[in-house]
Amino acid sequence: KIPSINAQCPSGSVALLHNSECVTNVQCQNQAPGYICYNGVCCSDGTDTISTVPYNGYCTMNNQCRVEHTQCLNNHCVCDNEYAYSGQACVPVIKNCASNEVNVRGSCYRKVSYGFQCEHTEQCTYEGGICNDGLCRCANGFLFDNTKCLPQVTTATCRQSNAKVEITNGVVKNCYNEPCAVGYFCEFNANFNNGQYICCGSDANDIYATCRQSNAKVEITNGVVKNCYNEPCAVGYFCEFNANFNNGQYICCGSDANDIYGIIRMLPGTDKPLECSTANSCTYVNTPNCVMSPRYGYKVCCSTMIC
């Protein structure tokens, strides 16, 4: 029995019946578009066999490969990069990420908090976080409370258009039962919740920026709270995000480096420190210590041991 000419073509491909012998692909394509030269025979390139070629089967294009996450590489259907064949499917190659990272489709990405840069939502470590425009944020209709995203209550409104409603743990505060916070005043809203007393005004933190650490202070430059998203903090200060101030802003918190230095005895009428030589050479009540000053490069009379 003479074998069928189709047997010379790869599985799922059909031979060109007339004048099908060839040496190059061009010979086949001149006779019929979509045919290639295979084993000296013009065979269909598989456009009629989309998603029919099994793993490791012969192919000429990616869409012929039947198994998900495969590609046509060197005329064989194989797994995409970062995928491995399990015998039935191409599955992601699992990577062991560091404790401060998260695995996203086989790659490790840094875990981040609200307001920091991201590529995937899985990087946002707080409840309800999403990666939007390259930053971890809350979805529309939600607000960040420094730990998670909470539904934004918009049904209660104040008489003054520029005032806002005080929200506590996601609930409109009822000032009939408890006092309003500093900056808020109690008023009756007949439309909200079938009539309720609500707190209206502005959060004190909206006006005055505060730091997470109670003993830290905010860096002020020319009377304005410094935005460390745009410029670096001074020595002694560190950048942190304040969700309440200015509708959310990065601020510098810490202490001025000058606060850790003592007072230096200056030469009268100048801005030059008085130089000393020995431990007992400073005879002044307020600056009795003769210490080396890293800032000036020589010993000075200082009120403390650091100048």
pTM here?
0.29
Contacts of 98 (CB under 8 A, 6+ apart): 108
Query: Does residue 90 form part of some domain?
Result: no
Are 268 and 231 within one domain? no
Question: How many domains, in total, are found in the chain?
Answer: 5
Query: Does residue 126 form part of some domain?
Result: yes
DSSP 3-state of 218 = strand
99-128 mean pLDDT: 90
Highest-scoring range by mean pLDDT, 102-111, 151-160, 188-197, 258-267: 102-111
* Separation between Cα atoms, residue 21 and residue 15, nearest integer Å: 10
Query: Does residue 13 form part of some domain?
Result: yes
pLDDT score, position 17:
65
Are 197 and 212 within one domain? no
Query: Does residue 83 form part of some domain?
Result: no
Are 265 and 253 within one domain? no
Are 254 and 265 within one domain? no
Query: Does residue 240 form part of some domain?
Result: yes
pLDDT score, position 2:
36
Are 13 and 40 within one domain? yes
Element at 252 (helix H, strand E): strand 249-254
Q: Taking the CB of residue 129, how many other CB atoms lie within 10 A of it?
A: 23
Query: Does residue 190 form part of some domain?
Result: yes
* Separation between Cα atoms, residue 112 and residue 223, nearest integer Å: 31
Whether the CB-CB separation of 284 and 301 falls below 8 Å is answered with yes
Q: Which is more confident, 296 or 16?
A: 296
Are 20 and 31 within one domain? yes
As beta bridge partners, residue 104 has 107
Residue 114: give the domain boundaries. Answer: 101-144
Where would I find the beta strands (DSSP E) of 95-190?
Answer: 101-104, 107-110, 129-132, 135-138, 142-144, 149-151, 164-165, 167-168, 171-172, 184-189
Query: Does residue 180 form part of some domain?
Result: yes
Are 274 and 245 within one domain? no
How do residues 228-246 score in pLDDT, each as one tens digit?
998 888 877 889 998 878 7
Give the burial class of 134: count Cβ atoms within 10 A of its Cβ; 0-12 exposed, 13-18 middle, 19 or more buried: exposed
Query: Does residue 84 form part of some domain?
Result: no
Query: Which of 53-62, 170-179, 273-282 shows the lowest mean pLDDT across its residues?
Result: 53-62
